[in-house]
Structure 1
């Protein structure tokens, strides 16, 4: 395999080089492991990357097309607290489609195609309510973390949910020196009810010199398909938060636990590592909404992004 992944010609250092270096190190030196999906991976443990977000810079991968509007729509969906895929389906966002489809086939025994299943989600609200929900995934934990209030005799009733995102905005604005600017998705009590436990599970923010720095920890990272989206989304959330609290975006730090490539992504890895990153895409936010929850897809514009061709690969469910 190493002979197929020959070094690219020398070029000026580019922010994307660290992503490609990580991909190469995993593929050439990662441990082969069985995994939940049965596909198998090559994996490294404990990796990090750092990106400068000043001046509109974003860690948008250029060696293949990343559909940043799709990733942005997913982030905005998280911020609504919604857990049903129907709003995404209506926007032609298919990131989460495979999980409810697999659950439907498993539970009903009906061999319905993914496309036909998604068409039913879009056309039938009752069907979507029954089969399109993912359980208490990301957005639910972000804006409605459950609480329980004792009512006596060892019994509890559900209390008012905690909006971590709203609290985070207030904390950044009112107490910037705090070391508790944290957004957490890993609710141990509800993991089994989720279609997929959170991969990008913990965010922490740090204010210094008028800048908002951010860190995202990802317990599990599909480097080929998931990570380009994750980098964009986490950086975008940081930029949105910075705008809301009157700070400039600073550095974005990505950290990964189990960082892996699926064995059936060989063609993608081989092709992408032959490519050379180029350009410096910039993000502009065209207005400042009154709330972190009021952004719309039209508020975001990317310039100077000329990616190379999309590279498709199967999703492991």
Structure 2
């Protein structure tokens, strides 16, 4: 049996048993610890959790969005991916151009007020439709600022030039695989105020040894129930894609967490998940005809043998 999922479940247990209660930016409240590391051997199988269903399609389309350098949710919506909607929607309903019902604290209110929740869903659907159909509206309210894709592919320098960090690191892996500078940073202090959400996964580093590519991610803020399963799969997929381009096997994904927290309204869901039996990990299949990371599309990425337990729903804290 794979150790990968137990590694994640051990994190859940550690935080529940040792975490401290803290207030947070969203007003929800968390149980939190600081400093934790997980290691996943990618040769064991693809680390997509089986104790609850994780929507791999959303993970893959979000990663391709990052790789393309895109920062507008329109691409995500075109791929039926709604995971960044709330941050764009917040920008819209707090603008001077919004004249609909009061959406203040919509994330929390939708959980406790059924009537408000229905109105929120109505407004969100209208917002999504406008993003998809109105280019001018999309350019303003679909834009999330200089988030991950911008920093990975188009980092702005003080001299006005730009750096394609992702492209540069791939070329360095090919030419100088033992370099200790195989780093991509999403944390740009100058740009943080212009981001809908400052990057939670802030910096990642690659490492080549014995023909295998490993990746370590430092994540400053880690939503253990909703976010971390996505992050594990996303950066494992990125490692596979870059190893594929560079002619390497995959090694480990190492996940280092800063503030690792469980939202207080996710504890019940975590406990349900901890009671479930771990199943075999699925296998990742990449199109062998696509060699470059920058050529990969959704149809080139497949997961086989994924038979998880059912989804466990939980609210997103915005």
Q: TM-score, normalised by structure 1?
A: 0.90
Matched, 1:122 2:132: yes
Quote the Cα distance in structure 2 between the aligned partners of 1:131 and 1:297: 25
Deviations 1:231-265 (A, max 9, x none): 00000101111111111101111110000010111
Q: Which residue of 2 aligns with 1:3?
A: none
Quote the Cα distance in structure 1 between the aligned partners of 2:173 and 2:277: 38
Asked whether the equivalents of residues 244 and 288 of structure 1 are also in contact (C-alpha less than 8 Å), the reply is: no
Q: Which residue of 2 aligns with 1:54?
A: 43
* Partner SS state of residue 218, structure 1: strand
Q: Which residue of 1 aligns with 2:187?
A: 186
Q: Note the C-alpha offset of 1:148.
A: 3.4
Q: Which residue of 2 aligns with 1:169?
A: 170
Quote the Cα distance in structure 2 between the aligned partners of 1:289 and 1:184: 26
Quote the Cα distance in structure 2 between the aligned partners of 1:117 and 1:270: 35
Q: Note the C-alpha offset of 1:288.
A: 4.1
Quote the Cα distance in structure 2 between the aligned partners of 1:290 and 1:202: 25
Q: Which residue of 1 aligns with 2:10?
A: 21
More helix by share: 2
Q: TM-score, normalised by structure 2?
A: 0.90
Q: Which residue of 2 aligns with 1:302?
A: 303
* Partner SS state of residue 93, structure 1: coil
Quote the Cα distance in structure 1 between the aligned partners of 2:245 and 2:89: 37
* From 25, 28, 35, the counterpart of 1:36: 25
Q: Note the C-alpha offset of 1:290.
A: 4.0
Matched, 1:65 2:53: yes
Unaligned runs of 5+ in 2: 102-119
Quote the Cα distance in structure 1 between the aligned partners of 2:7 and 2:249: 24
Q: Note the C-alpha offset of 1:29.
A: 2.3
Q: Note the C-alpha offset of 1:130.
A: 1.3
Quote the Cα distance in structure 2 between the aligned partners of 1:137 and 1:87: 14
* Partner SS state of residue 19, structure 1: helix
Q: Which residue of 1 aligns with 2:262?
A: 261
Q: Give the 3 Å change call, closer, same or farther, for CA 116–267 of structure 1 in structure 2.
A: farther
* Partner SS state of residue 197, structure 2: coil
Q: Which residue of 2 aligns with 1:220?
A: 221
Quote the Cα distance in structure 2 between the aligned partners of 1:219 and 1:269: 21
Quote the Cα distance in structure 2 between the aligned partners of 1:294 and 1:39: 40
* Partner SS state of residue 142, structure 1: helix
| Equivalences, count | 296
Deviations 1:195-224 (A, max 9, x none): 001111111011111111111111100010
* Partner SS state of residue 238, structure 1: helix
Q: Which residue of 2 aligns with 1:86?
A: 74
Q: Note the C-alpha offset of 1:126.
A: 1.2
Deviations 1:89-132 (A, max 9, x none): 11110010000111211223533622221121112111111111
Q: Note the C-alpha offset of 1:270.
A: 2.1
Asked whether the equivalents of residues 219 and 258 of structure 1 are also in contact (C-alpha less than 8 Å), the reply is: yes
Deviations 1:56-103 (A, max 9, x none): x21110000000111000000001111110111111100100001112
Matched, 1:209 2:219: no
